[in-house]
Amino acid sequence: MYDTSTRKRALALVAQGRSLNSVSKETGISRAAIRSWQTRIEPLPRMRQTFCPLCGPTADPPADRGAYAYLLGLYLGDGCISPGMRSGYFLRIACADAWPGLIDACVAAIKAVNPSGKASRVHAVGYTSAVGYSGHWPCFFPQHGPGKKHDRRIALEPWQQAIVDVHPWEFIRGLIHSDGCRITNWTTKTVGGVRKRYEYPRYFFTNVSADIRRLFTDTLDNLGIEWTHCTRHGNAYNISVARKASVALMDVHVGPKY
Ligand SMILES: [Zn+2]
């Protein structure tokens, strides 16, 4: 844990035009930590005390906050944590093979957050799981618990909310990439005797947990994105973003799956 004057000194070096790399080498502070101070200089709230040997007494949140916010969205949408054979846990995010770019993004996020820097792919029929092994996952994802996520209360810890507050789009992107989609409705209108096709892109997010839907819509509210509840295929678990300006912002920061 670095104090505020150390943080300011490192940022002052960057402000002189030095690269993150050279400042990192000179100060011994990781590039990810310096980068995170550029968006939030105050220390994050500490994680809850755990018995994890990696956390030790300080229990710092993950250093790469952007990657963490994205991975948190993926985890809440479609991830699971299960105990491994030794003292560690598997974090698994299932990705449809139809979206190879998402599999890459997911593997990269697990590598960035996993203290070991490792992640792998496990292939199954029609989907690929991005998997990371660590004793640390329950510390980083305290929402882990027995049973299904929609059967229990899901709330963010203060340190997680602080990360989502500075990286809201990464969090939204993770949620959309796991449990959302961008679709295009269309219709035709006859204008001046000519039939024209009009397209209406919109985003959907679908999750059976009311708590997780609420985390999604609270973050949209903070970003000024308009949304509505929407029943689709007889299922009331959908959030829709359809207003033109809001869809345009979502396109800049999220975009279609790839
Ligand atoms: Zn830990």
- The arithmetic mean of pLDDT across residues 215-232, rounded, is 92
In this predicted structure, the answer to whether residue 201 has a pLDDT above a threshold of 80 is: yes
pTM of the model: 0.83
C-alpha 5 to ligand 1 mean position (Å): 27
In this predicted structure, the answer to whether residue 49 has a pLDDT above a threshold of 70 is: no
C-alpha 116 to ligand 1 mean position (Å): 12
Structure-block tokens of residue 145: 């618990």
C-alpha 140 to ligand 1 mean position (Å): 7
Distance between CA 19 and CA 35 in Å, rounded? 11
C-alpha 137 to ligand 1 mean position (Å): 7
What letter represents residue 144's amino acid? Answer: H
- The arithmetic mean of pLDDT across residues 133-139, rounded, is 90
- The arithmetic mean of pLDDT across residues 224-233, rounded, is 86
Q: What is the predicted pLDDT for the residue at 57?
A: 66
Distance between CA 58 and CA 160 in Å, rounded? 16
Beta strands in 97-224 (DSSP E): 120-123, 127-134, 180-191, 194-206
Q: What is the predicted pLDDT for the residue at 61?
A: 85
C-alpha 132 to ligand 1 mean position (Å): 14
C-alpha 61 to ligand 1 mean position (Å): 9
C-alpha 111 to ligand 1 mean position (Å): 16
Q: What is the predicted pLDDT for the residue at 163?
A: 95
Q: pLDDT grade, residue 147 (50/70/90)? A: confident
- The arithmetic mean of pLDDT across residues 182-194, rounded, is 86
C-alpha 91 to ligand 1 mean position (Å): 14
- The arithmetic mean of pLDDT across residues 2-10, rounded, is 89
C-alpha 89 to ligand 1 mean position (Å): 11
* Angle, vertex CA 105, rays to CA 103 and CA 106, nearest 5: 65
Q: What is the predicted pLDDT for the residue at 241?
A: 95
